[in-house]
Structure 1
Amino acid sequence: MAEARRERADAVRNRRAILLATEELLAHHPPEKISMEQVAAAAGVGKGTVFHRFGSRMGLMRALMEERAVALREAVTDGPPPLGPGAAPRERLLAFLDAVVELVARNKGLLAALCHATTTAQRPADDAPRGEHPFHAFWHGHVSALLAAQRPDLDAGLLAHFLIGALQNERVLRLLERGETAHVAGTLRTLVTGLLDAAPTADENAPGRP
């Protein structure tokens, strides 16, 4: 039993060391320039350990990006308002989009690499549509639900794709690279606020679609 606990502790420590080493390398190199050998050397583990834990370089990048996004997801599901439950849909939506813009701004290279990988893969991981990053489904579902709660007359699912997809646009990413995070977030807020405040569509029988 003690040996099993020690092995689990070693595995957790190795995983953390590998992710920290990857973060450090990403501070100086784009994702496509980082090899598994470099990560292993920086983490002080064998290359086989890195492959065993993550499968591939892209698996490693995916794990790192998912770890960076988990705090946002926890804030949405269990945190205080306006990100978490308790605030009105409008406030939650605006707060969430602000948080997503900030997350994308801090992780542009990782997101670009993941989107490129799913776009060029023969079969995207988890059967996700091509071009989607690993947590697109959660972001899309959350935005869709909040839009539908505020404007049930609109196609919330399609609008959510538009809003999230805008943050993968090359020109928008270029603005974030130049440090214009506040400008991007403010413009997105203006767009969403105008959408939420617009008069309902004339066709009252056109429900929002997932």
Structure 2
Amino acid sequence: MTAPTERADAARNRLRILDAARRLLAVDGFAELPLDAVAKEAGVGVGTVYRRFQNRAGLVYALIEDNETRFQEAFARHEGGAAPAYDRLRAFLHGLAELVDENRELLLLAESSAPAGRYHSAPFRRHHEQITGMVAELAPGADAAYLADLLLMAYTPGLFAFQRTERGWDLDRIKAGLDTVIAGIAAAEGVAR
């Protein structure tokens, strides 16, 4: 059975809402994103925004999906399935660090709107599934799902922002730390790099 096709008017409204949200964020910054202001800017009723996105976090995650799509396409192009699991996992986690850094303000906004919403978002579920598969390949017999959760904790918006701003860590330091964790996973299972 195929998924139902989105109605043309619903698709137009979705694009209008996302464009309006981008415009408001560009003008007002990331401190807030009131859904009634988004609705007004998009020329739709506030109920339309709530039906489509449920809450501010849902709207923010929809905005993030554009960058997520580009990230997934770039990963598939450059890493595919031919590279060893260690190299694919390393490239994925490094790329994810860059993606989170680019979307830091949006992710912080989403986290403040719905603290656990991240774990139910399509990008998080997709990242978890991908990391679980690569960890299972890298370290057969390890609890790949738990290790995927552990690795994804590094991308918690509040922690990531704290490391980048308060601690002043650059992306190279964060990536080096992730490399240490990946090496540990590989070594614990006796897998050569």
Partner of 2:12: 13
Please tell me whether residue 81 in structure 1 is matched to residue 70 in structure 2: no
Is it true that 1:154 corresponds to 2:153 in the alignment?
Answer: no
C-alpha displacement at 1:41, in angstroms?
3.4
For residue 165 of structure 1, report the CA deviation from its aligned partner.
0.7
The CA distance in 1 between the partners of 2:188 and 2:13, in whole Å, is 55
Partner Cα distance (1:133, 1:117) in 2: 13
Select the structure with the greater relative contact order (CA < 8 A; seq sep ≥ 6). Answer: 2
- Determine the structure 2 residue equivalent to 1:183: 173
- Corresponding residue to 2:189 among 200, 205, 210: 200
CA distance, structure 1, for counterparts of residue 11 and residue 108 of structure 2: 27
Per-residue deviation, 1:19: 1.0
Superposed counterparts of 1:119-158, under 5 Å: 119=115, 132-134=119-121, 135-158=123-146
* Contact 1:118–1:133 (Cα < 8 Å) also in 2: no
Contact kept in structure 2, 1:167 and 1:173, CA below 8 Å: no
Structure 1, gaps ≥5 residues long: 1-6, 125-130, 202-210
Alignment of 1:97-116 (within 5 A): 97-116=93-112
- Stretches of structure 2 that go unaligned for 5 or more consecutive residues are 1-6
Cα distance in 2 for partners of 1:70, 1:37 equals 27
> What secondary structure sits across from 2:119 in the alignment?
coil
Letter in 2 for 1:80: R
Counterparts in 2 of 1:12 and 1:169: CA distance versus 1, 3 Å = closer
Choose 1 or 2 for highest CA Rg: 1
Residue 42 of structure 1: CA displacement?
A: 3.1
Cα deviations across residues 31-62 of structure 1 (Å, max 9, x unaligned)? 5x211222133334444443343343333223
Contact 2:57–2:114 (CA under 8 A) maintained in structure 1: no
Inter-CA distance 182–14: structure 2 relative to 1 (3 Å threshold): farther
Which of residues 161, 170, 182 in structure 2 aligns to 1:173?
161
* Percent of matched pairs sharing the same residue: 32
1:29 matched residue in structure 2: 29
Does the 8 Å CA contact 2:39/2:49 hold for their aligned counterparts? yes
Normalised by the size of structure 1, how large is the TM-score?
0.69
Which residue identity lines up with residue 187 of structure 1 in the other structure? G
Contact 1:115 1:133 in 2 (8 A): no
Aligned residues: 180
